[in-house]
Amino acid sequence: MQAQVSRTIRLTLPPVRWNRTGWRTVRLPTYFLLGLVLLELGTRAVGGRFERYAPDDYAERVAGCVAVRPNLLVVGGSPVAEGIDPAHLKGLTRNGTPLDSVYALGLSGATSTDVYHAVLRAAPMPPKLIVYGLTATDWNDARNEPHGTYSLMTGDDVVTCRSIRPDAAGWVTRHYLEGRLARVSAVFRLRNGIRLWAAVQADAIWPGCAPEALREAREQSAYGDALRAGVGYAPAAWFVHRRYDRAKAAGDPGPPFGFLDKYRTGSHLKYVDKLVAWGKAHQTEVILLDMPVTADLEARYASAFADYRSRLAAVEASGVPVIRATREAVGLGDEDFADVVHLNGGGAAKLSAWLRARLAGDRP
Amino acid sequence: VIFTTKAFLIFLPVVLVGYHLLAGRAWKFRFLLLASWTFYALCSPRYLWVILLLTAVDFVVARRIEDAPDPRRKKRWLVLSVAANLGLLAGFKYAPFACDTVTSLARLAGADVPDRAWSLLLPLGISFHTFQGIGYTIDVYTGRTRAVRSFVDYALFVAFFPQLAAGPIVRAAEFLPQMVTPPKVSASQVSDGLHLVLIGLAKKLFIADWLDQLVVSPVFGDPAAWDPAAHRWAALAWAVQIYCDFSGYSDIACGLAKWFGFELPLNFNLPYLATSIADFWRRWHLSFSTWLRDYLYFPLGGSRCGPVRADANLLLVFVLCGLWHGAAWNWVAYGLLHGLAMIAHRTFDHAVKGIAWADRLRATIAWQILGWAATMAVHVAGLVIVRMPTWGAGFAILQSFVPDGSSGSLLGGLPIWVPLLIGMGMTGHLAALFPRGYVKGSHEVFAVMKGLAYAGLVAVLSCFGPGVGKSFIYIQF
């Protein structure tokens, strides 16, 4: 009997007596937690000034798109963010309908899964036309974008995603929870903005004390302003002015590219079907735009592009319109790219003008 | 799952709440042991068997030593324990070094030997828990402590997670008496624990990691690209970095232990105020230096034998001290340097002790400052030796401390934050130089101020830390 009793796990609350000794035990942690709460409240109250230096580009672009309420929405990953200038598309008439407001919702790193959820969040008023600019990277199931999971998805979206894409169920759940957890604290979420804001303040008092942080603060601030004020085209100076042909000749082809490694398709692709279905349900025409990439990238990942193009052909055969913006069709060379996959300023202007002509001339 | 990771932020509250909710000594300690083994398995999943095996061996051996009827049998059991611990330590830590050394010697002799094609990952905390196990069985052998009869108690003594990865190396006589009754957490343990954990995190995340990113890694990575002023700052920054990194870990370990009601021994006592090399080793990594003294230096005869033998003992102890830190010739050189410095100090001390004018001179502040400068020179030189990328680069960095008449910028192109961070790292040392005039009280207003200050520190660490998670240096040892 005695042995049985000793094996019973007993859970008890610690015997804290609320006398002076009990209070002394917990008072420092209590004041510590109180201090954290005060800091949290203070940060939330003035969070805007920190957010200016650390814009969440997914959230800013979605908010910008909601504000513009475009009737032409160009959506996609970073090739769209850097390669489509909505200014060239504004005012085009398609099938007799003028598309006078345009927004480019280019989300760096986004896959088709992220693009679908971005459209859900950014288009409460469904546009007349959605052009989804995509390339092989959008359908690579070996990669997922954590930013999209916690920035664009709701709890319901996660549940749906788990059933549609069982291969990514664990990953999506973990990153969604991690992202939500990280956003519980404004101090933690805005830590980079606070650091850059402090660098600006410190520089005002002591010029030159943190030059790198100050430069970063200015860049981030300008980027944030461009995202909020514009129509989604806010390329970094690096992309606008860099020329892939010259960089390649100088032996600097750009940062390493691993977005097509371990290429396999099928899972993200299901969200293209969902996007098309969403378009039909909302009387929104959905067109897929096969974005141009450099010949070097296509050669390096020949089998990945072959797989992607056969999938794209199958989607087209199912009745989804596809525009193929090949380098030859648009008239692009290495001089129009910033790196292997992104267009530079000149290339973006060429592609956007070409796309305007195609959209204006196309018939469903 | 080490202290500065997000995973630890989940692990710690779960273990703390579970531990304090459970009633009774047995369930608390079982739970804490399970948590500690889980911690080990998460950090070093392949090698859980190492700590389990050594724990079982030392537990059984200690009981056999105590129960053995004659000294010869006791000794045999002790040899088994020491051999098991040192055997695994040598196998994991020194086998690659020994292989490389043999390869180099063979090549010198003209043999065509290929490079080593294998490597070994070091099990978590093996340098620490093996020494803890050896210390325990020696203590039982010498009768300084009784063998533990409960496996859970002994296993928890070895695996207690706050000190598992990088010490302090706890003695059985310090820890096991605290387990007789379930430790109750006092008010001072709660507040002191919070203080130590946050100060430790600040030392590690703010000072050590920033110094590493701003100056130590860039300059030691490519010394030729930097001028002598940068070399000097890098050497000083490295000394502050390693202190803040390791003492930061020890502070966090002691602070966490307090939240479970345990007290761990002090590991640092303002080492950069040492005025002699012997004084330095009475302040730096105390749990290790006293272990070497009690379990190696004294059994070798210590200073009770003749002066030559005593010097040889010192040199051996310090070479082994160097090798314990890392299996590399740099660490052997580090040990030799400190051993020779200790011998020089001992010889000088014996020569002048008792001479009236010399004793008066050695009591002056000027002499203390001279002693401090010499001690720091040896320490910094030793640290440069273990961090230098090549012997030539190390020599160039050390040479930068010798004035050559050339004029250059004060900071050598480094950011202004470097001297500020070095100063912050030494704040505790500087404060100790002045009389303790601060008010220490239990008044409510102090608790409020401390609580708010700690919250502010958390915010500062969150916003201004380098943001790149770096491992604690001593975990690699």
A187 to chain B nearest CA, in Å?
7
CB nearest to A34's CB, from B21, B451, B464: B451
Stretches where chain A sits below pLDDT 50 are 1-6, 16, 363-364
Burial class (CB in 10 A: 0-12, 13-18, 19+), B461: middle
Q: Cβ A25–B186 below 8 Å, yes or no?
A: yes
- Between CA A220 and CA A199 the distance in angstroms is 12
Is ipTM strictly over 0.85? Answer: no
- Between CA B85 and CA B79 the distance in angstroms is 10
Q: Cβ B27–A13 below 8 Å, yes or no?
A: no
Nearest CA in chain B to A36: B455
Q: Cβ B447–A187 below 8 Å, yes or no?
A: no
Q: What's the pLDDT score for residue B405?
A: 67
Q: What's the pLDDT score for residue B326?
A: 84
Nearest CA in chain A to B22: A11
Nearest CA in chain A to B452: A35
Nearest alpha carbon to residue A61 among A235, A237, A228: A228
B446 to chain A nearest CA, in Å?
9
Interval A93-130: pLDDT, tens: 888 888 889 999 999 999 999 999 999 999 888 999 99
Q: Cβ B21–A13 below 8 Å, yes or no?
A: yes
CB nearest to B456's CB, from A35, A191, A194: A35
A195 to chain B nearest CA, in Å?
6
CB nearest to B463's CB, from A12, A28, A194: A194
Q: What's the pLDDT score for residue A363?
A: 45
Integer angstrom CA distances of residue B59 from A261, A309, B76: 51, 65, 15
Of these residues, B325, B338, B345, B379, which one is catalytic?
B325
Partners of A34 on chain B (C-beta within 8 Å) are 451-452, 455
- Catalytic residue at B443? no
Nearest CA in chain A to B449: A31
Partners of B190 on chain A (C-beta within 8 Å) are 25-26, 28-29
Angle at B122 between CA B179 and CA B472, to 5 degrees: 70
CB nearest to A36's CB, from B416, B442, B458: B458
Q: What are phi and psi of A71, to 5 degrees?
A: -100, -5
Q: Cβ A24–B187 below 8 Å, yes or no?
A: yes
Stretches where chain B sits below pLDDT 70 are 1, 405-408, 412, 434-442, 467-469, 475-477
Q: Cβ B451–A195 below 8 Å, yes or no?
A: no
- Between CA B115 and CA B46 the distance in angstroms is 25
Q: Cβ B454–A24 below 8 Å, yes or no?
A: no
B318 to chain A nearest CA, in Å?
43
Burial class (CB in 10 A: 0-12, 13-18, 19+), B84: buried
Q: Cβ A28–B194 below 8 Å, yes or no?
A: yes
Residues A50, A218 contacting (CB under 8 angstroms):
no
CB atoms within 10 A of CB B76: 13
Residues A190, A39 contacting (CB under 8 angstroms):
no
B23 to chain A nearest CA, in Å?
6
Q: What's the pLDDT score for residue B241?
A: 94
C-alpha A120: how far from chain center: 14
Q: Which of B152, B191, B420 to probe by mutation at the A interface, max A CB count within 10 Å?
A: B191
Q: What are phi and psi of A94, to 5 degrees?
A: -125, 125
Q: Cβ B456–A39 below 8 Å, yes or no?
A: yes
Q: For the stretch A46-77, what's the b/e string if a residue is b when 16 or more beta carbons lie within 10 angstroms of its beta carbon?
A: ebeebbbbbbbbbebbbebbeebebbbbbbbb
- Between CA A272 and CA A276 the distance in angstroms is 6
Interval A252-284: pLDDT, tens: 877 778 898 999 999 999 999 999 999 999 999
- Between CA B8 and CA A27 the distance in angstroms is 24
